[in-house]
Structure 1
Amino acid sequence: MKRMLRNIALLACIGTLSACGFQLRGLSTPLSQSAPLSFTSLRIAQAGSLQSALETALRRDGRIQFDNLKGNADAVLRIVDEEDRKDVLGVSLAGDVNEYMLIYSVRATVQRLQDEAPLPLSITLRRTMSYSDSVTLGKEREEALLRADMRKEAADQLVRRLGYLPAPGSKADAGKQP
């Protein structure tokens, strides 16, 4: 009897979650929920450390053809500036640093064939990281993992923002940042 009640409660929870539209991250079909792009092929120029993360994010997105990646593309994504900073966030009473703020900023432009000027994109990501002198090697590894995760998330955000670029020739196109 207890088992049957537990199963009914579990089914009720699952039914409630599915009824409200809950979906696990990554299980949605990208074409059904992403805005359509105003171009079909993209060339990545000067991506620096974001090159592999951008290519992975674009392949996962599925809306862009990579046939023209090296040739004539409908749009060109160019990373203008990347900034990696590590600021002190917290200090102990003894004056030792016990927390850092990792900041990763990316400025990019997208130049479509129909556009007169490139459209700007900018992303800033922040992560906090505690610090202790007693576990320096572990904290260096944690920092490297956080920075890699920030690059991956920045690439994902850039790809998502490509779908929200204003239509070519629209008034919202001039100087606005998505």
Structure 2
Amino acid sequence: MLTKRFASLIVILTGVATLAACGFQMRGTGPNSGRLPFNTIHVVASQNSNFANTLKRYIAASGTEVTDDPKAADAIMEVLREKQEKFILSRNSQGRVREYTLQYTLQFRVKDNRNAELLPPDSISLRRTISFNESAVLAKESEEAMLYRDMENDMVQQVVRRMAAIKPQVAAVAPASISSAK
């Protein structure tokens, strides 16, 4: 019995050591996790966009400054389209709605302060299914709002991950002129 436990412990420790040796790390746990490749960013979005406000807070918490002046920013993130939709997924035998599909779509791009695209227009679409019950309309409305907030938080994390993957562009350096003294 003791040897089986010891053998199991050895197998587990070997697996952990193998994962550590190969460089495996969980998403969001590295030294630069969530760190963007620029120091300042300007976010262009609707004033009343909950997504934009959440994104700005998330970016600021990650150590990148969010500025209101696009000229002072290293990068400009533009929200091109943000849309929340609700579709009927299924009906019961009486024709009443049983399930909805909630969809949250975001289209965005990232440019530098010289108007060069760092990330071309990209789109993310998230979906959630929600059941519907006529006797619990208020509860289902609260659940729907909660699902949209959850999708919004997921969307913010996906956008930040995509921006973190941007490779900084190195400006072309002109060769220094070499002069010979005579």
Q: Name the TM tier (shorter chain).
A: 0.7 to 0.9
Aligned runs of 1:1-178 on 2, under 5 Å?
A: 20=19, 28-29=29-30, 31=32, 33=33, 37=37, 39-47=38-46, 48-62=49-63, 64=64, 66=65, 69-71=67-69, 72-117=72-117, 119-168=120-169
Structure 2 counterpart of 1:69, one-letter code: T
Q: 1:132 to 1:30 in 2, by over 3 A?
A: farther
Superimposed CA distance per residue, residues 13-45 of structure 1 (whole angstroms, 9 cap, x where no aligned partner): 68856864687776x2451x56761x2210112
Q: TM-score, normalised by structure 2?
A: 0.71
Separation (CA, whole Å) in 2 of partners of 1:111 and 1:159: 14
Question: Per the alignment, in what secondary structure is the counterpart of residue 137 of structure 2?
Answer: helix
Runs of 4 or more above 6 Å deviation: 8-15, 22-25
1:56 deviates by 2.5
Question: Per the alignment, in what secondary structure is the counterpart of residue 165 of structure 1?
Answer: coil
Separation (CA, whole Å) in 2 of partners of 1:11 and 1:60: 40
Separation (CA, whole Å) in 1 of partners of 2:90 and 2:9: 43
Identity %: 29
Q: TM-score, normalised by structure 1?
A: 0.72
Q: 1:130 to 1:25 in 2, by over 3 A?
A: farther
1:12 deviates by 7.7
Is the CA contact (8 Å cut-off) linking 2:40 and 2:75 kept in structure 1? Answer: yes
Structure 1, gaps ≥5 residues long: 170-178
RMSD between aligned residues: 3.3
Q: 1:114 to 1:87 in 2, by over 3 A?
A: same
Q: Find the structure with the greater CA-based Rg.
A: 2
Separation (CA, whole Å) in 2 of partners of 1:74 and 1:113: 6
Structure 2, gaps ≥5 residues long: 171-182
